[in-house]
Structure 1
Amino acid sequence: MTHAHAYRTRLDWTGTTGAGYRGYSRAHRVEALVADDGPRTGPQPLDLSADPAFRGDPERLNPEQLLLAAASSCQLLSFLALAARRHVDVVGYRDDASGELDVSAQPPAFTGIRLAPRIEVAPGTSREEVLALVAEAHHGCYIANSLAVPVQVEADVVEVDRAAASGPADVLRPDPAWSDVSVELDDRPGELGRFAAVLGAAGISLEGGGVFGGAAGRSVAHFLVADGPAAREALERAGFGPVSVEHPVLTRLDQSRPGTLAELTARLGTEGANIRTQYSDHDGRLVLLVDRPDSAR
């Protein structure tokens, strides 16, 4: 039985080629469409162009770069999934991908793609196990398996003891990529379900959080989302509110060493940072709301 995932994109270009090869614009826009729900757009559109060697705009990404990025991203995601399932603690990953396009070939094509990830792992992690996961991830990478061009992966594995290097509080910083969305809920059955349904209908995933007791028979929901403004708009449109959105500070405690939470909170206290809310996300990170985020760095 075939199990397939469908994907859709839409590309738009306007201009004129009437002036010849040198005269037309290479600028165009690509957006991803929700495959099972008609023309509604999904992620942020990409403004693209051609390689500057082909008279493109150097300020925009080009298809050749996107090909490298797709191969690199797929390898990362495949690897992280395996590492998480095997309980291998990976704490950092940087890939300097490269590729070469032979325009003299018939037909012109990439001759190869090289991925060179530098993988940071917690102290005591087996280098051999990490490299085995890299190979397994490459074997299961959807993009690499779909390309005619060979994809080579040359990984470097480095142990990093971030807690020892910086201290538990120093790794905390406001993360602009994430938002904590909070709102008081009425004390009645189904209210949390309605809250979650509103965000789900808006395409917003809840990445962690919880509901905490409040005053006057109302509880306060705190949840981590990628798009705080969109979550607030959806909730207020559905009658929730007022909705508060702020960037939390995130860190990952060393679960193998007792007392790290005590060290972290004591350090924040000496720096004048008052912790108002604390919970964990689905990736095992500690999520904190503090009254002075700049002091929790």
Structure 2
Amino acid sequence: MPLRHTNDTYISNHIFMEREHNYKLSLKWNGNTGNGTSDYRAYERAYSIHITNKPDLDGSSDPTFRGDKTKHNPEDMLIAALSSCHMLSYLHVCATGGVIVVDYSDHATGLMVTTSDGAGHFTEVVLNPIVIVADASMIEKANEYHKKASELCFIANSVNFPVKHNPVTLPPPSSAG
């Protein structure tokens, strides 16, 4: 397929080369209420994540594990990473494949189980993207591109549980009225 944009030249020449991409952050526990971890109930699960040139992110554990329900928890962020990575991969596949996406939203869910030894793991994440394309003739191709996006998604390729997709693709709203 011919390249459609100048930026595609960069992507097509570089995306399949094996390269390392390094990421770093600083995490600071903010939950010492004076007695450290002297008891399971003696400390808060609050923390801050700092990444250079980005807003700090305050987090906590899930409320089930004595966390603050008003803060993001690692489980939320894992689902968010999978959902956003899939979206970005999908938009790339559509842009290079001739499908014009005009709107995209997702309502993702994840299922985590805890085990008798106190550990736990995700058993699945389900992405439920709602995509609006510029023309109804693009719907079939748009639906097919979710599979390719899943194959390209860095985060989905890094987890050991299934990431399922239930896409809904719609034409643009009718302007007749």
Fold equivalence (TM over 0.5): yes
Match of 1:116 among 128, 132, 139: 128
Structure 2 unmatched runs, 5+: 1-16
Higher RCO (C-alpha 8 Å, min separation 6): 2
Is the 1:91–1:120 Cα contact (8 Å) retained in structure 2? yes
Counting strand residues as a fraction of each chain, which structure ranks higher? 1
Against the structure 1 CA distance between its residues 157 and 2, is the aligned structure 2 distance closer, same or farther, given a 3 Å change threshold? Answer: closer
Shift of 1:105: 6.0
Q: Is the 8 A contact 1:123 1:161 kept in 2?
A: no
Corresponding letter in the other structure for 2:110: G
Alignment of 1:11-90 (within 5 A): 11-14=27-30, 15=32, 16-32=35-51, 41-90=52-101
Question: Percent identity at matched positions?
Answer: 36
TM-score, structure 1 as length reference: 0.50
Does residue 138 of structure 2 align to residue 126 of structure 1?
A: yes
C-alpha separation in 1, matches of 2:137 and 2:53: 38
Structure 1, unmatched stretches of 5+, are 33-40, 167-297
Q: Which has the larger radius of gyration?
A: 1
TM-score of the superposed pair, with normalisation by structure 2: 0.82
Does the C-alpha gap of structure 1 residues 75 and 24 become closer, same or farther in structure 2, counting only changes over 3 Å? same
Asked whether the 8 Å contact 1:68–1:98 carries over to 2, the reply is yes
Residue 19 of structure 1 deviates from its aligned partner by 3.9
Letter in 2 for 1:27: A
User: Distance between the aligned counterparts of 1:124 and 1:29, measured in 2?
Assistant: 45
Contact 2:136 2:170 in 1 (8 A): no
Q: Deviations over 1:73-128 (max 9, x none)?
A: 00000000111122311111111100111012664101111111011112333222
Asked whether the equivalents of residues 60 and 72 of structure 2 are also in contact (C-alpha less than 8 Å), the reply is yes
Q: Give the conservation status (yes or no) of the 8 Å contact 1:27–1:56.
A: yes
Distance 2:63 2:91 in 1: 34
Q: Which amino acid aligns with 1:81?
A: H
Deviation at 1:18, TM superposition (A): 4.0
Distance 2:105 2:27 in 1: 30
| Distance 1:98-1:18 versus aligned 2 partners, 3 A rule | closer
The Cα of 1:159 is off from its aligned counterpart by 0.8
Give the residue type in structure 1 aligned to 2:27: L
Runs in 1 of length 4+ with deviation above 4 angstroms? none
Pairs aligned (count): 157
Alignment partners' CA distance in 2, 1:2 and 1:86: 23
